[in-house]
């Protein structure tokens, strides 16, 4: 095993910040290349006129998922050293709901708003200001919201752990369902025009 490099001590904190900047540049580059700095294009996802958001998001998820799987298989990457976001059932269902309403209302998400701003879209700036306001309000009301925020912790929980289906089978299933969903997305777009 030779990766993750940082977790195995290949470099320190200050180098990691330079790497953060480089990875961010590549992230922003591909978001803009795909049209994800444009709220009009993102909103099309919710009116079934332009399913670019879905196509980009799931081809990214499938690419990274397969990459992780094969690098782990090849003995290059130690998967247990990759940080898996922990599961909190109620906060993530409620948060997902509020987030989804905000997403279609605002037409951008937190990451894509940066690209909207740096390419000159003033609605991106308004959205970022709103996000700061929302986070500030949440923080100020934290005493009231804490019970919900800390409800139903499930720790690190993955789909293979939850279902008992082995990791390779889940990876294959997600990839197959993803490809089928891409075909469905193409069909929906064709039908609309």
Partner 1 sequence: MSAPRAPRPYMNPYLAGVGLGLVLLAAFVVMGRGLGASGAYASVVAAGVDRVAPTHAQANGFFSHYLAGEAPLKDWLVFEILGVFLGGFLSALVAGRLRWTVEHGPAMSDRGRLLYAFGGGALMGVGAVLARRCTSGQALTGGALLSVGSWLFIVTAFAAGYLAAPLFRKQWR
Q: How far is it, in rounded angstroms, from Cα 113 to Cα 117?
A: 6
Nearer to partner 1, 122 or 191 (CB): 122
Give the 3-state secondary structure of residue 153.
strand
**Alpha-carbon torsion 38, 43, 45, 50, what sign?**
negative
Nearest distance from residue 36's CB to partner 1, in Å?
8
d(CA 24, CA 67): 19
User: Closest CB to partner 1 among 137 and 176?
Assistant: 137
3 state SS of 3: strand
Q: Does 19 bind partner 1 (CB under 8 A)?
A: yes
User: Exactly one of 1, 73, 162, 166 binds partner 1 (CB under 8 A); which one?
Assistant: 162
86-125: which residues touch partner 1 (CB under 8 A)?
Answer: 86-89, 91-124
Q: Judged by CB under 8 A, does residue 64 bind partner 1? A: yes
Cis peptide before 100 (omega within 30 of 0): no
Nearer to partner 1, 75 or 132 (CB): 132
Q: Does 147 participate in binding partner 1 (rule CB under 8 A)?
A: no
Interaction of residue 157 with partner 1, rule CB under 8 A: yes
């Amino acid at each position: 095993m030779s990766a993750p490099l940082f977790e195995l001590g290949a470099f320190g904190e200050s180098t990691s910040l330079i790497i953060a900047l480089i990875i961010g540049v590549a992230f922003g580059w591909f978001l803009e290349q795909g049209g994800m700095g444009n709220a009009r294009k993102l909103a099309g996802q919710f009116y079934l006129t332009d399913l670019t958001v879905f196509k980009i998001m799931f081809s990214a998820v499938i690419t990274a998922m397969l990459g992780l799987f094969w690098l782990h298989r090849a003995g290059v990457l130690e998967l247990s050293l990759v940080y898996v976001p922990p599961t909190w059932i109620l906060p993530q269902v409620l948060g997902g709901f509020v987030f989804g309403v905000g997403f279609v209302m605002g037409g951008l998400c937190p990451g894509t708003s940066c690209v909207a701003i740096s390419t000159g879209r003033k609605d991106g700036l308004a959205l970022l200001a709103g996000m700061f306001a929302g986070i500030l309000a949440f923080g100020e009301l934290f005493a009231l919201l804490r019970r919900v925020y800390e409800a139903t912790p499930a720790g690190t929980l993955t789909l293979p752990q939850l279902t008992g289906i082995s990791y390779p089978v889940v990876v294959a299933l997600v990839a197959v369902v993803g490809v089928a969903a891409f075909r469905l997305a193409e069909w929906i777009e064709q039908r609309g025009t």
